[in-house]
Amino acid sequence: MTKPVIALLGTGYMGAPMARNLLKGGYVLKVWNRSLDKAEPLAQDGAEVFGKAKSAVQDADIVITMLTDGAAVEEVLFTYDAAGMLKTGAMVIDMSSIKPAQAREHAAKLEAMGHKHLDAPVSGGTKGAEDGTLAIMVGGDKGDFEAAKPVLACMGRAVHVGPHGAGQLAKLANQAIVGTTIGVVAEALLLAKQGGADPDAIRDALKGGFADSIILQQHGGRMTSGNFEPGALSKIQLKDLNNILEEAGHLDLTLPLAEHMQARYSRLVDELEGGGKDHSGIYLELKDRNGL
Amino acid sequence: MTKPVIALLGTGYMGAPMARNLLKGGYVLKVWNRSLDKAEPLAQDGAEVFGKAKSAVQDADIVITMLTDGAAVEEVLFTYDAAGMLKTGAMVIDMSSIKPAQAREHAAKLEAMGHKHLDAPVSGGTKGAEDGTLAIMVGGDKGDFEAAKPVLACMGRAVHVGPHGAGQLAKLANQAIVGTTIGVVAEALLLAKQGGADPDAIRDALKGGFADSIILQQHGGRMTSGNFEPGALSKIQLKDLNNILEEAGHLDLTLPLAEHMQARYSRLVDELEGGGKDHSGIYLELKDRNGL
């Protein structure tokens, strides 16, 4: 069995380390990025660098997209018409975080053209991308998932979570939990601090118990040290919460905590800090609300 | 150095396994329980069983209380007057979950009588009590904490989190995080399910990432299987949230997520299921709210 030829579109802060892990996995890799300078360094890792997305995908069996949002994916696939250059039966694995509805639409368009599609957004940040330990949430046909598994395994742990769009739904579920957990960790630590307890000791005391999480330890640590350098931006957390509520709206669902946190992050971003701080900055919003 | 003699008051579902771990640690242990039948089986593990709290504590260097709530601790120490029978300089370690204000009051009363006090509530449930792996959150004098450390080490991992009452504050912080995380896990899994994704696969996909927690895996599992047998009771979660808001009120603090979850658990307990289900039953409240 020969290995599939892969094209990776989008070699930014996530895509570049993912590309390196695919090269380490022994795949022939063609890369493209909107600003070419971010793709060029990958030549010395063995990638073939292209100035146009259409050219990069021409002989590829698998096309991986790792772009900013749904509009960027739409543009590259259908406006620049990378999709039109694909070999029949090629598979597009979209690892960008986009709206579930967009992922379903892309899948339908590609299928109509005779191609396959998986939505496969990730969690784990640049560290996960570098270490090849990303959580990869995959929506689409189960058989396509099985076929893509060896490729995905170079980049992290892939789990099939349902049909087209389900990977993006899982990512939204992830972001709902992250944003709200940050919110309640802020309350717990502020309560402790105002009551005279030591918030760092409390994080230590809670370690390994029911209240423990990466959020409590990492984001909670940022709150007690007062260091809100990102990390993940509060304005991205707000965008995620907006997408969660939009998808909930499509499904006629009320999600009261997501609504509450959307209002809180709106206030943080629009009235307090402009969106450039880490999402653990909701601690600042809580303090402000309490006149502290 | 001779080991301190310990009296343990309250040998219920948590106190009994804690007593066994103290006996395994080689301590002389005197036990009392309001209903004697729950204390008597400990005789065969080597404990000396007493019919009155006053008698159990008479020669003890350390008195551990593991009782239902602050009123029960108050009654045993000051109404039944166990405190009046203590040797001068004896230490009371209250491992019950009570209000921070009550803990501070008990500490002051005992100090006025020449005794020491630590508030040391726990997290980890009966399994943690049996395995000796409880998270123990300790408020009080740092020197008293150091003196008590070998005793506490028989029952779990103890961390000093601040002055009198701080242990109880840490427990409230723990419960705020637990209750709210359960709430958002419910939303994330319902969103995923209604959108056609597989909630069990999503829990798997999120494992090890930023959204992961014991709550996501254990309580989330209860939600997808629809098994709400306790576990920890929804009415206890409601009591904890009431205590959190009461303490926040003393501190003139607004905690909007705790307020939100208090209203949600009130609705669950008072209008939907009566308080006897597991606290992961907030999933039922969310479904009901959505007409599902």
d(CA B70, CA B162): 20
Same domain, A194 and A281: yes
d(CA B70, CA A23): 62
**Would you call B206 and A177 a contact, using CB atoms and an 8 Å cutoff?**
yes
Digit-coded pLDDT (tens) for A101-114: 999 999 999 999 99
Same domain, A177 and A149: no
Please identify, among A162, A179, A211, the residue that sits at the C-terminal boundary of a domain: A162
**A162 exposure class (CB count in 10 Å sphere: 0-12, 13-18, 19+):** buried
**H-helix or E-strand spanning residue B138:** strand B134-140
Q: Which residues of B touch A133 (CB under 8 A)?
A: 208
* Residue B1: predicted pLDDT: 64
CB A48, CB A31: distance < 8 Å:
yes
Please identify, among A162, A195, A211, the residue that sits at the C-terminal boundary of a domain: A162
Digit-coded pLDDT (tens) for B144-155: 999 999 999 999
Q: Which residues of B touch A278 (CB under 8 A)?
A: none
Q: Best interface-test mutation with B: which of A104, A122, A161 has the largest number of B CBs within 10 A? A: A161
d(CA A244, CA B192): 10
Could you tell me the residue range of the domain that residue A146 belongs to?
6-162
Nearest Cα of chain B lies from the Cα of A234 at a distance, in angstroms, of 15
Considering only CB atoms, A192 lies closest to which of B173, B178, B290, namely B173
CATH number for the domain harbouring residue A279: 1.10.1040.10
Q: Residue A139 falls within a domain, yes or no?
A: yes
Digit-coded pLDDT (tens) for B64-78: 999 999 999 999 999
Measuring CA to CA, which residue among B197, B280, B226, B214 is closest to residue A173?
B197
* Residue A5: predicted pLDDT: 98
Measuring CA to CA, which residue among A79, A120, A115, A81 is closest to residue A97?
A120
d(CA B39, CA A284): 49
B162 touches chain A (CB under 8 A): yes
* Mean pLDDT within A76-96: 97
What is the signed CA dihedral for A184, B250, B99, B270, rounded to 10 degrees? -70
CB A174, CB B199: distance < 8 Å:
no
Q: Which residues of B touch A207 (CB under 8 A)?
A: 135, 157
CB A162, CB B198: distance < 8 Å:
yes
Minimum mean pLDDT range among A139-148, B126-135, B256-265: B126-135
d(CA B217, CA B240): 22
CB A200, CB B162: distance < 8 Å:
no
* Residue A7: predicted pLDDT: 98
Q: How many CB atoms lie within 10 A of CB B111?
A: 13
Measuring CA to CA, which residue among B80, B209, B267 is closest to residue A156?
B209
**H-helix or E-strand spanning residue B278:** none
Considering only CB atoms, A170 lies closest to which of B157, B177, B192, namely B192
| Coil, helix or strand at residue A282 | helix
Same domain, B46 and B156: yes
- Nearest-CA residue of chain A relative to B187? A255
| Coil, helix or strand at residue A137 | strand
Considering only CB atoms, B192 lies closest to which of A124, A157, A169, namely A169
- Nearest-CA residue of chain B relative to A191? B248
Look up the pTM and report it.
0.94
CB A206, CB A184: distance < 8 Å:
no
CATH number for the domain harbouring residue B14: 3.40.50.720
Q: What is the DSSP letter of B42?
A: G
**A148 exposure class (CB count in 10 Å sphere: 0-12, 13-18, 19+):** buried
Measuring CA to CA, which residue among B166, B182, B253 is closest to residue A213?
B182
Same domain, B145 and B187: no
Q: Which of B30, B116, B171, B277 is catalytic?
A: B171
Same domain, B15 and B147: yes
Considering only CB atoms, B202 lies closest to which of A173, A184, A257, namely A173
Digit-coded pLDDT (tens) for B30-57: 999 999 999 999 999 999 999 999 999 9
Same domain, A150 and A64: yes
Interface of B with A in 45-104 (CB under 8 A): 100
Q: Name the domain count of chain B.
A: 2
**pLDDT range class, residue B231, cuts 50, 70, 90:** confident
Mean pLDDT of chain B: 97
Same domain, B43 and B114: yes
d(CA A129, CA A131): 6
Nearest Cα of chain B lies from the Cα of A54 at a distance, in angstroms, of 32
Considering only CB atoms, A173 lies closest to which of B137, B188, B260, namely B188
- The answer, yes or no, to whether ipTM is higher than 0.85 is yes
* Residue A170: predicted pLDDT: 97
Nearest Cα of chain B lies from the Cα of A8 at a distance, in angstroms, of 23
Digit-coded pLDDT (tens) for B165-174: 999 999 999 9
Digit-coded pLDDT (tens) for B2-29: 899 999 999 999 999 999 999 999 999 9
Q: Residue A1 falls within a domain, yes or no?
A: no
B166-194 vs B100-112: helix axis angle to the nearest 10? 160
- Helix ranges, A113-212 (H): 125-131, 142-153, 166-194, 199-205
Catalytic residue list of A: 171
Q: Residue B1 falls within a domain, yes or no?
A: no
Same domain, A145 and A46: yes
**Would you call A162 and B196 a contact, using CB atoms and an 8 Å cutoff?**
yes
Mean pLDDT of chain A: 97
- Token readout for B255 is 């905690």
B181 touches chain A (CB under 8 A): yes
Q: Best interface-test mutation with A: which of B99, B191, B241, B285 has the largest number of A CBs within 10 A? A: B191
Nearest Cα of chain B lies from the Cα of A144 at a distance, in angstroms, of 16
CB A179, CB A265: distance < 8 Å:
yes
d(CA A194, CA A196): 5
The type of residue at B238 is: L
* Residue A1: predicted pLDDT: 64
Considering only CB atoms, B215 lies closest to which of A210, A253, A258, namely A210
Sign of the Cα torsion A31, A123, A231, A236 reads: positive
**Would you call B176 and A188 a contact, using CB atoms and an 8 Å cutoff?**
yes
Residues 6+ apart with CB under 8 A from A206: A212, A216, B123, B135, B137, B170, B173, B174, B177
d(CA B171, CA B69): 13
DSSP character string of B213-232: BHIIIIIHHHHHHT----SS
Q: Residue B130 falls within a domain, yes or no?
A: yes
Q: Best interface-test mutation with B: which of A118, A164, A177, A282 has the largest number of B CBs within 10 A? A: A177
- Helix ranges, chain B (H): 15-24, 53-57, 70-74, 100-112, 125-131, 142-153, 166-194, 199-205, 214, 220-225, 234-250, 256-267, 282-289
* Residue B2: predicted pLDDT: 86
**Would you call A211 and B173 a contact, using CB atoms and an 8 Å cutoff?**
yes
- Token readout for B138 is 């300790």
Residues 6+ apart with CB under 8 A from A289: B254, B256
* Residue A2: predicted pLDDT: 86
Nearest Cα of chain B lies from the Cα of A6 at a distance, in angstroms, of 24
Interface of B with A in 101-160 (CB under 8 A): 123-124, 133, 135-139, 157, 159-160
Portion of chain B with pLDDT greater than 70, in percent: 100
Same domain, B147 and B201: no
CB B202, CB A173: distance < 8 Å:
yes
CB B88, CB B61: distance < 8 Å:
no
Q: Which residues of B touch A100 (CB under 8 A)?
A: 195
d(CA B235, CA A182): 25
Same domain, A191 and A156: no
Pairing of strands A122-123, A134-139: antiparallel
* Mean pLDDT within A263-280: 97
Q: How many CB atoms lie within 10 A of CB B248?
A: 22
Considering only CB atoms, B137 lies closest to which of A133, A205, A290, namely A205
Q: Best interface-test mutation with B: which of A200, A202, A217, A222 has the largest number of B CBs within 10 A? A: A202
CB B83, CB B63: distance < 8 Å:
no
Please identify, among B162, B196, B219, the residue that sits at the C-terminal boundary of a domain: B162
Measuring CA to CA, which residue among B102, B123, B99, B236 is closest to residue B174?
B123
- Nearest-CA residue of chain A relative to B286? A255
Same domain, A77 and A21: yes
Measuring CA to CA, which residue among B108, B161, B107 is closest to residue B136?
B161
Q: What is the DSSP letter of B85?
A: G
Same domain, B74 and B204: no
**Would you call B257 and A260 a contact, using CB atoms and an 8 Å cutoff?**
yes
**pLDDT range class, residue B124, cuts 50, 70, 90:** confident
